[in-house]
Amino acid sequence: MATATTATPELKLERVNTPPAQTWNYLRANDITLTVPSESRKGDVYFALPRLFEGIECGMGPDVTAWIESQAADAQYVEVRAGERRIEPIIATMDTGVMVRTGAEATIVVCADAQATSRTSAALVRVIAEKGARVRVLEFVATGDDQQHLESVGITADEGARVEVRQYFLGAHTTAAGLSCALNGADARFDLTCRYLGTDDQRLDINHVVRMRGRNGRSDLRESGVLDGRARKTLRATIDLVHGSSGSEGAELENVLVLSDDVVNKTMPVILCDEDDVAGNHGATIGSVGPEQIQYLADRGLSQEEAEALYVRALFDEALICAPTAAVRAAVLARAQTVLGTEVAGDLVDALQLDTEDRA
């Protein structure tokens, strides 16, 4: 498939990646509309995920789920047996379902790298974490400057399950990412760290949804990023404290470092609450790199510009540190080289002697 293929039919995904409650319409921050390729798969035998996965709410919504399912080759189904501690990470394909059975542990990696062939890439990941399971989902969007990437994740957590998600959105032309996690069982826990970079004319559209249904749940969402140039970012973060979630606590905090006046930075934090005995709080700090941090860095010899550059570099370094496989590190490194230049990009890899052996 060549980049300039004109024959590829297209589809408009209208108003996707929506939050549960669409308030503040005037901000025009409720959704995104994307044009994606839509090739018919007529005649192909297609392996779909078990039925159980159909009911999982995914962050970007049902239209995106349907589109990805229609475009993906076979779905990948992985089951981690009860009590198994799976060390080897599960590498997500375009359409992946992971069943983490009772007490099991697993790491799921979603990595989008620069592609020569297609302008649009996508990943759909659905995860069921059974009782007491521990799941880590690591997402890396390290696509090229002219790419558009869609990533939709849906997770359900049963009693006592712990879900940790780390997202690194390292700058594509368009990144649209939605994640929904439902804490269905009591005492379940969800921790999300999302780090993003937007420069030039890049567009980031992020939708985070936590449904707290079980009692005594905990969820903690931390988003932070750097925006420069004419980048446009919209973050919707919703913590839904559903009736019955008594004793639950949800918190969300976003830190944004805005480096240019032309940046468009929108954040819609929402707490929905249908339960008395719960606590939810949101805090959005714009320009988190407060005077204290800048002063500390200045005291050690960094000018304001150098301090800002450090924050950008740090994003990539952190992604490299967190990357669990050589292939992911290679993808992050390639992106870092484009953004930071070869010397700075390769520095941490050299120092820590990280393996970034490229895929052939």
Partner 1 sequence: MSDQLLRVSGLCAGTEDKPILHDVSLSVGAGQTHVLMGPNGAGKSTLGHVIMGDPAYQVTSGTIEFDGADVTDDSADKRSLAGIFLSYQAPVEVPGVPLYSYLRTITQKRPELKMTARKFRDRVGQIADQLDMGSSFLTRELNVGFSGGEKKKIEMLQLLLLRPKLAILDETDSGLDVDALSVVSRGIEAYRQACDGALLVITHNTRILERLSVDRTHVMVQGKLVAEGPASLIDDIDAHGFEQFEHAKGGDAQ
Among 91, 251, 273, 302, binds partner 1 (CB under 8 A): 302
Q: Is 291 in the site for partner 1 (CB under 8 A)?
A: yes
Among 260, 352, 357, 358, binds partner 1 (CB under 8 A): 352
Stretch that binds partner 1, among 133-141, 211-219, 269-277, 315-323 (CB under 8 A): 315-323
Residue 4 neighbours by CB distance under 10 Å = 7
Among 42, 44, 292, 359, binds partner 1 (CB under 8 A): 292
Token reading at 345: 């990009």
Among 82, 273, 310, 334, binds partner 1 (CB under 8 A): 310
Q: Can you tell me the distance from the alpha carbon of 118 to that of 107, in angstroms, rounded to the nearest whole number? A: 27
Burial of 59 per CB tally in 10 Å (0-12, 13-18, 19+): buried
Q: Can you tell me the distance from the alpha carbon of 301 to that of 295, in angstroms, rounded to the nearest whole number? A: 10
Q: How far apart are the first and last CA of the chain?
A: 20
Among 11, 298, 326, 334, binds partner 1 (CB under 8 A): 298
Among 17, 120, 156, 224, binds partner 1 (CB under 8 A): 224
Among 6, 350, 359, 360, binds partner 1 (CB under 8 A): 350
CA distances from 124 to 175, 210, 294 (A): 14, 17, 39
Q: Which letter, b or e, does each residue of 74-95 get, where b requires 16 or more Cβ atoms within 10 Å of its Cβ?
A: ebbbbebeeeeebeebbbbebb
Residue placing its CB nearer to partner 1 in the complex, 159 or 228: 228
Q: Can you tell me the distance from the alpha carbon of 357 to that of 339, in angstroms, rounded to the nearest whole number? A: 20
Stretch that binds partner 1, among 99-107, 125-133, 146-154, 348-356 (CB under 8 A): 348-356
Alpha helices in 50-144 (DSSP H): 62-71
The residues in 259-288 that bind partner 1, with binding defined as CB under 8 A, are 288
Q: 218-227 and 189-198 as β-strands: parallel, antiparallel, unpaired?
A: parallel
> C-beta of 168: minimal distance to partner 1 in Å?
12
Tell me the site size for partner 1, rule CB under 8 A. 32
Q: Is 191 in the site for partner 1 (CB under 8 A)?
A: no
> C-beta of 290: minimal distance to partner 1 in Å?
9
Among 102, 318, 337, 338, binds partner 1 (CB under 8 A): 318
Among 33, 50, 296, 342, binds partner 1 (CB under 8 A): 296
Residue placing its CB nearer to partner 1 in the complex, 152 or 265: 265
Q: What SS3 class is residue 320?
A: helix
Q: Is 329 in the site for partner 1 (CB under 8 A)?
A: no
SS3 content of the chain, % helix, strand, coil (to 5): 20, 40, 40
Which neighbouring-strand residues pair with 297? Answer: none
**Residue type at position 340:** L
Give the interface with partner 1 as residue ranges (CB under 8 A).
195, 224, 255, 288, 291-293, 295-303, 306, 310-311, 313-315, 317-318, 321, 346-348, 350-353
